[in-house]
Each structure stands twice: as C-alpha cells, then as structure tokens.
Amino acid sequence: MHDCSLPLLKNMSLGMVVSVALVAALAYVTYLLVSTVRSIQKQRAAILQWPGLPVHWLYGNLHQHPLTNPKIRSESPEEGFAFTRGMTEKFPRGCRLLFGPTSGIILANHPDIFRPVMKRRDPKPLIQGALSYNFVRPWLGDGLLLAKGDIWVRTRRLLTPAFHFDVLKPYIQVNNSAVDVFMTRLERYVLDGASFPVTKHVSLLTLDILLRCAFSYDSSCQIQGDEHPYVKAVAELSKTVTERTFSMFLYFNLPFGLSSVGRKFKKNCDFVHKVADEIIKRRRKQLDTNKQGHDAGSDRKYLDFLDVLLSARDESGKGLTDMEIRNEVDTFLFEGHDTTASSLTWMLYAMATLPEHQRKVQEEIDEVMSGRESEDVGWDDLGKFKYLVQCLKESMRMYPPVPFIMRVLERDVEIDGKILPAGTSLLMAIYCLHHNPQVWPDHMTFDPDRFSPDNIQKMDPFSYLPFAAGPRNCIGQNFALNELKVILVRLLRRYTVQLDPSHPVQFSGGMILKAHNDIKIFLKPRVL
C-alpha cells in the first residue's frame, strides 16, 4: 500500500504546484490591473484639478473638438486651431482635455507651465491613445525626436558636433546653389503672370538643401517636378497621424493596421525608409572606395550630417548601429525640410499681405547687398538682416512650424500649486502659447516690433518657443535660420510678393503647420 501511494502523492504535489502557480499568476495579473487602474485614477484626478469643458463619461472632450468630424477635418481644418485659441482665451493658464474614458492631458498655454517642464528632459509619450508619439514611431523609430533616458542623452551628445559653427559655415554656398535652381523654376510663373503654389515649391527647395548639406546627395528633386514622391509621402504620413489622433477606433495598432489608412501608412513608411537606406548605402560605398585608395567623393569640401553619424563614437568607442543611423536620417529628413518649408511659407504669406513690412525688409536687403555683382548671400551677411529677422520671428510666433508637442512627466512636478504625478501627459501647445492674450496682447496682429532689441530684453524666455527650449530644444535651429535667411534675401531682392486673392488661405491641422490647399502668391519683378 505504501509503494502504491507514491505516484498519487507525486501527482498531488504536481497538482498543488500548478494550483499555486495559477494563483500566483492570477495575483500578479490582478496586481498589475489594480496598479494600472490606480495610476489612471491618480492621473485623471490630477488632470481634473484643472479647469476645462464639461466631460462626457465615454468621450471625455473628444466629441467637442471639431476635428473629430471627418468633413471638418478634410474641408475646414482651421476650425481645430480656432477651438484651441478659444480654449486659451477662456483658460489662459492651462486647461484639461480628456480623450475617452481614461486618456487625458493638460493643455499648456502659459510660460509658467512651459518653464518647469521644458527645463527638464521629459520624453514624448509613446503609450497607446490620443496624441501619442507612438503613432509616428513606425516612421521615425527611436531617433532623437522620440528617444528618452540614457539613449537620448547619448544620441544628443553624438549628434551635437553636426551643428557646430565650422560645419554650418560651408553650407552657405550649398544654400545659394539650390536657390539658383529654385529661382529658375519661378521664372515661368513670372513670364505667365500666374501665381505659384508656395509650399509645393519651397518643400522641394528645402528638401534639396537638406539632402545636399546633410547627406551630400544631389537628388535633382527640384527639377523632377512638383510631386516629388518623398515630399508626397511625408505629407501623407503626417496627415495619417492627425487622422489617428481624432479617431478612437484607430488608436490601437491592430485595427489601424487592418484599415486602409493603416495599410497606406505602412506603404509610405516603407518608401521613406527605402530612401534613407539608399542614402546610407551610397555613402558607405563611397567611404569603402576611398579606403581602397580611390578618390570617389573626395571633391566634397565640407563635413556633413551623415559623416558625423557614421563616424560618431561614445566613451566606450561604440558607434551608432545601422538602424540607429536610419532612424536619425528619417528624423532629420522629416524635421529638417518640412518645418523649414512651413516657416518659409508663412513668412512669404505675411510679406504678401503686409506690403509695408515687405518694403522695409527689401530696403534693408538692398542696403546690405548694394554694389554686389553676385546675388549670393555670404556667411558674413547673415547677421546684418535685423528687420528681416524681426519679421521672421513674428511670423514664427503667429505661425509656429510645430504648433504642438507632447511631454510625459518622468517625475512629479508642481505647477500653479497643483501636483502633477509622474506619467501625466502635457500638450505643450506652442501655437496657444503664442496666441495667449495674457502673454501677447493683440496676438492676432502681425507686429515685428515685438522683437525689437529693447522688447526682447523684457521678454519672458518661455513665452516664445518656435524651436522649443531646454535640453530637448531643436538641435538644428541655426541650420534652419541660416537657410531661411538666404532664401528670403534672394527671393525678396528680386521680387515683390503679392497674395493671390482668388485662392483662400486657412490652416491645415497636422504635425506641421501648413496651409490647407497651399498658398498662392504672385511674383512681381523689382527694379533695383
């Protein structure tokens, strides 16, 4: 009987082990669920401390935002900006916005909110849900825009040399060369007396400049035509991200991936990744050829962004992996050309609608460039266009190229006497900050004198943030500003710009502030 009972005892022991394991697993899952629910409740309670619109139990405030209506999103996207401006006028020191039953954010629109957050290096939110950078991760990967923690610190340190003064200086001639092509393309509009679509053309120009400066790659994209596939793909990717933001059904990856919108997004991601891979492959081949004693590519007279990426090494001597390099190439291609094209578009719009300011800018340009046989702008000229810069800054105040960015708190922070716990998401609404009537009186009026030397001395440094601020500010802002100056000087020296009154202008909601259906401008030759 003793011998016969051994298997039974063993089986009982195994059963008990399985039972204990199941109980332990169930307890762990329960713990995770309870912890998650408590965390959501804690963050929601913190968000509800802030004023805001009435909250629906299921939709939160999502149903109140005009861009949740697909028709408005496609035909009148400017209503989204009017909505956030209205929220800022009603709640000028920040407010809450709830997206669904669990997801919520603080809409930051005042320097007192930006200051404590921007001084830190809190990352972008990558969780599922509205306004998550998770939506762009398949496109940009964990590049500098989305990286966090030690990975971000390492990447930022490795990339900083790419934007040193000595690296940027030789780009001035590259800028002038690309503008030569741009000006030639504009001549047909002048001869025909037709208006030209601004963003369509300047996007090709800024992409051309970026490819030449950052990757020493002459793609001839300006010559190929108006619908360059890369520019088109980036525009569609950005549009898709906006669509996901205002559609609860598409928040989650599975239904999004199965949808026609998701399939198109993947196709565009694959295309931009292919472009980046080809650029990297081409440069590696050049480097290998040079190592073998040949002179391919040796006529290049400047260091570029890709040189820095391929040669960068951290303290341990470790460089960037192929995937890390591609992530940075994708990020820089997107951020480096699309944001600059936006800034250029809205500055030309301001000049075209405000002839008195355009005239003052042109007088300054004429004074600086007088007596020149060449139209090229030199490196030493860049600091001389004071009034142009004032107008450019005011344009970026009214029309910030990146109107909204996100942060998720890594640690608790106190703002306006309210404790926001770690994990809270904040919509750093740069557009709303720049249109906060408590910060910028008469904020819808274009006034370059806001940025006169005297007024800048009195300005709160966290009231004007077109390039963000703090450790996560835009690493390429000097590159972009130099490029903008060269393009504007060259264009406004030769032409006076006038708005085409038959083509209405309104904002387009998206990652980058663009004009819905573009902006059209006439070019009138100047007599110098």
Residues of the binding site for heme: 474
Report the DSSP pairing between strands 95-99 and 418-420.
unpaired
Task: List for the chain the helix, strand, coil content (%; round to 5).
Answer: 60, 10, 30
CA angle 173, 206, 431 (to 5 degrees): 125
Helix (H) / strand (E) containing 497: strand 495-499
Give the tokens for residue 164: 């040193």
Distance between CA atoms of 301 and 279, rounded to whole angstroms?
19
What are the contacts of 361-364 at 24+ separation with CB within 8 A?
A: 361/385, 361/387, 361/388, 361/391, 361/488, 361/492, 362/492, 362/493, 362/496, 362/526, 364/388
What are the contacts of 407-410 at 24+ separation with CB within 8 A?
A: 407/117, 407/122, 407/123, 407/124, 407/125, 408/122, 408/123, 408/124, 408/125, 408/127, 409/117, 409/122, 410/120, 410/122, 410/123
CA angle 253, 259, 260 (to 5 degrees): 135
**Most distant CA atoms of the chain, gap in Å:** 115
What is the Cα 475 distance to its own chain's centre?
12
Q: Give φ, ψ of 414 to 5 degrees.
A: -100, 125
Distance between CA atoms of 76 and 507, rounded to whole angstroms?
8
Give the residue numbers of the binding site: 474
Helix (H) / strand (E) containing 424: none
How many Cβ atoms sit within 10 Å of the Cβ of residue 405? Answer: 20
DSSP 8-state symbol, 470: G
Distance between CA atoms of 294 and 87, rounded to whole angstroms?
62
Query: Residue 156 to residues 116, 137, 509: CA-CA distances in angstroms?
Result: 21, 18, 29
What is the Cα 288 distance to its own chain's centre?
34
Q: What is the DSSP string of 87-144?
A: HHHH-TT-EEEEETTTEEEEEE-SHHHHHHHHTS------SSSTT-GGGTHHHHTTST
